Amino acid sequence: MNKLSITRLASLPSTAAEVPAVLDSMNVAFQPIASVNWPAEYPYCPDVAFRMAWCSDGLVLHYRVNEQSVRARYAEDNGNVWTDSCVECFLRNADEDTYYNIECNCIGTLLVGVGSGRHGRQRMSADVLRGVERWASLGSEPFDERCEPTSWEVALVLPRALFDVHPLSLNEGDALCANFYKCGDELAVPHFVSWNPIAVPSPDFHRPEFFGALQLA
């Protein structure tokens, strides 16, 4: 199981555009998302990495992607962003069943849900999602698939209020469990890669038993 110590921030950045520079200044390293769990059907592995930091007011995430094609069809939150070029973080408190899925396409469109399994998940309202600062290097306008090598980044500032339905423990020394993903269900070359390996027969990210461990430093 992958384990990662998460750097503490003094406070959340006021905008997501500041996140890359803030994490650079703190020497927060990128972690690869490179587990190809279903190589027979989905062998493609884009070059993807994430980094993360925390404070008592919330979390920040920064993803960096290089892939052979890119798509951003969904511009409204809570759409089917996983079918676009999409990065995801699923996380929960240690020793609890309820987890969040935070999914973001390459133009910063979000889908966030909470529940204890794949079915019956509660999605966050539009008002709650408007409180998430996001920055995307490709801008915010939707576009159809571009079949050409593309590099892109997204950064998110996730306030504590995003987790009000089932509060996350955000205190020094707390443990969280999480997995991080890159997918593109409807791209010319579909792919499903993860940070921590997933040992099931077919693509399924809603498998908290395969989450890795995060320690809030």
pLDDT in tens, the chain (217 residues): 999 999 999 999 999 999 999 999 999 999 999 999 999 999 999 999 999 999 999 999 999 999 999 999 999 999 999 999 999 999 999 989 999 999 999 999 999 999 999 999 999 999 999 999 999 999 999 999 999 999 999 999 999 999 999 999 999 999 999 999 999 999 999 999 999 999 999 999 999 999 999 999 9
Measured CA to CA in angstroms, residue 23 lies from 12, 19, 158, 180, 184 at distances of 11, 6, 15, 18, 27
Tokens (6 digits) for 135: 């920055």
Tokens (6 digits) for 61: 């995430």
Tokens (6 digits) for 185: 């269900």
Query: Angle 122-204-115 (CA atoms, 0-180°, nearest 5)?
Result: 20
Domain limits, the chain: 3-216
Supply the DSSP string of 158-175, one letter for each residue: EEGGGG-SS----STT-E
**3-216: CATH, from 3.40.50.1000, 3.40.1280.10, 3.40.50.2300, 2.60.40.1190:** 2.60.40.1190
Tokens (6 digits) for 22: 């803030």
Please state the separation of Cα 64 from the chain's center in Å. Answer: 11
Question: Quick one: DSSP state of residue 20?
Answer: H
Tokens (6 digits) for 53: 């930091």
pLDDT digits (tens, 9 = 90+) for 72-114: 999 999 999 999 999 999 999 998 999 999 999 999 999 999 9
